[in-house]
Structure 1
Amino acid sequence: MPLPHDALVLVADGRKMLFFRNHGDENQIDLRTEAHGARRDRKDREIKTDAPGTAKQSFGYGRSTYEEADFQQQEEDRWIKDAADELKSRVLRGDFDALAIVAPPKALGVLKKCLHKEVARRIVSTINKEMSGRPVPDIEALLESETAAGDLPTA
């Protein structure tokens, strides 16, 4: 489906969140940056509070430790959930009618689970690709190629 004029585009991963607005039309995408944010990377020692837990063996000597949580992944997931919250607040105040999302697989999966039903209704395109570090013309070219591919008749 083509990206309409004034559509919102979210390009996100676990570290960056970029919001663009399409100032072009369905034939020529012209993205303009509307908002952006970047998560500050924190060291594991700043995130976790304790050592991994242990459990006493039911037989023999010693203790086994539980697998330690991936704190960096938890931080990235929280960041993506913040993007979903931002989309929810925007849609509830009538900020957009069409939405395109560009995100890597893991981030896209987390984002889709957290989306409000009104946000999900307005999605015209989701692209499973890491693009948050790419220049705007590359993002525009990706969106044009993906939306053009969606217009092809199916046999």
Structure 2
Amino acid sequence: MGKLDTGAWVLVADSEKALLLVNEGDRKAMHLQLLQKDEQDNPPSREQGANRPGRAQDGTGPHRSALDDTDWHQLAKERFAADLADLLYKPAHQGKFDKLVIVAAPAVLGILRSAVHVTVEEKIIAEVPKNLTDQPLDEIEKRVAEALEPLDL
């Protein structure tokens, strides 16, 4: 089984829910405990947009084309992932954790990679491209251990 130091943090996230966990066990027996849980209420775009999609002039002449409406739902998902990156910065800067494992849906993981501050990035020891936010802690522990197995930490 992969090993995770006592006090290491694990972020488990998808585009609407995040669990921030800490390993209260040791390198022999991981025991993740919940530090913080964040969820966003993100209704579908049709419930968030106030106006009909606009129309644009197609150059000269009477022709007009419809414009795509803003996908508010998708924007909220991306903003949530960027907010998670900000959430990690302050405790990383204060030295509250030395190691971080990120378990996130692939799209969220991509946004997090580009949004995390270098202070947080230096503490990331593994990434797991899976959506495990609705899984029990023992399943999350198993997946984290599997991800750490090939690493020599």
TM > 0.5 fold call = yes
- Give the whole-Å Cα distance in 2 for the aligned partners of 1:46 and 1:21: 36
> TM-score normalized by structure 1?
0.89
Structure 1 spans left out of the alignment, 5+ residues: none
Percent identity for Structure 1 against Structure 2: 31
Displacement of 1:131 in angstroms is 0.4
Alignment match, 2:21:
20
Alignment match, 1:127:
128
> TM-score normalized by structure 2?
0.90
| C-alpha contact (below 8 Å) 1:3/1:124 kept by paired residues | no
Match runs of 1:3-152 below 5 Å: 3-58=4-59, 61-151=62-152
Displacement of 1:136 in angstroms is 0.5
Structure 1 runs of 4+ with >4 Å offset: none
Displacement of 1:58 in angstroms is 2.9
Matched letter for residue 56 of structure 2: A
Displacement of 1:27 in angstroms is 2.6
Deviations 1:91-123 (A, max 9, x none): 122211100000011000011111010000000
Structure 2 spans left out of the alignment, 5+ residues: none
Deviations 1:26-54 (A, max 9, x none): 23211001110111122435532432221
SS in 2 for 1:150: coil
- Give the whole-Å Cα distance in 2 for the aligned partners of 1:4 and 1:46: 44
| C-alpha contact (below 8 Å) 2:57/2:65 kept by paired residues | yes
- Give the whole-Å Cα distance in 1 for the aligned partners of 2:143 and 2:23: 14
- Give the whole-Å Cα distance in 2 for the aligned partners of 1:133 and 1:81: 21
- Give the whole-Å Cα distance in 2 for the aligned partners of 1:32 and 1:5: 11
